[in-house]
Structure 1
Amino acid sequence: MKITQTFTFEAAHRLPNVPTTHKCHRMHGHSYRVELQLDGPVDPTTGFVIDFFDLEKAFGPLLEQLDHHTLNDVAGLENPTAENIAVWIWDRTKPVLNELCLVKVFETPLCWAEYDGK
């Protein structure tokens, strides 16, 4: 069974490794959306793969590091592309949520990066 929970956060960033003429080289912000997908068996007693409240509790500390911050200032996100944010979230979430199978990071409603640990 696969389950997905969505989280949102607001943050500013700039992409330091693009040409100075690229508009994303300048500081700007996004309303990010993160989807965490988990894959595992349904517990016959609870009926859950994992309780969504437990998922919120596990991801909450990371969300606090991102929400209303400049992502370039977050350790490990000096080049905060959607791809790098997805890997950053995976690396910090997978150890506490073994069922994690996919992280999606939406920079806008029309563009996103997804990472499955590979």
Structure 2
Amino acid sequence: MSELKLGITRKEHFNAAHRLHNKNWSDEKNKKIFGKCNNPFFHGHNYELEVTIIGVVDPDTGYVIDTKILSDIIKEKVIEPFDHKNLNLEVEYFKERNPTVENIAILIYDVIKKEIPQHLELKIKLYETPRNFVEYPFGV
């Protein structure tokens, strides 16, 4: 079999609320920088997540990764902790970080990376809206 790398992608979806706010700034500065996203009563998004695993196809299984295993990892480590949650209040990581789409993508990457074999590469694409998304790491 070829030693060329390829990527396999799993798509998932979750809904979550958040508020963009820097506790070190005044309310006025927060409103100026974050606008409607600084609503003190929070606001929500329908996040679309693409998790791509990059590697060489295993000659025995024909897989880069078993997509059932990948699906289970995403459900346990991302969907269950984030879906229908207030990220600021219910996800410990965001008690000290602003839950921007950038920071959410970094957290998702970090928790999934710990669960997959080290020889595999990982790329996250997280859509906050159909027009706004993050790729992490970028350029992989």
Please give the alpha-carbon distance, in whole angstroms, between the structure 2 residues aligned to 1:117 and 1:96.
20
1:2 paired residue number = 7
Partner of 2:31: 20
Q: Which residue of 1 aligns with 2:131?
A: 110
Deviation sequence 1:7-52 (CA, Å, 0-9, x none)? 1001111101262251100111100011111111111222111111
Alignment match, 2:93? 76
What SS does structure 1 have at the residue aligned with 2:31? coil
Indicate the RMSD between aligned Cα atoms, in angstroms.
1.8
Moved over 6 A (4+): none
Percent identity over the alignment is 41
Partners of 1:61 and 1:77 in 2: CA distance: 18
User: Is 1:49 matched with 2:68?
Assistant: no
Aligned with 1:40: secondary structure? strand
Matched residue count: 118
Question: Structure 2: how far apart are the matches of 1:75 and 1:105?
Answer: 20
Q: Mark the structure with the bigger radius of gyration.
A: 2
Q: Name the structure where strand makes up a greater proportion of residues.
A: 1
1:117 positional shift: 8.1
Change (3 A) 1:117 1:93: farther
Gaps of 5+ in 1: none
Structure 2 residue runs of 5 or longer lacking an equivalent are 1-5, 23-28
Q: Which has the higher helix share?
A: 2
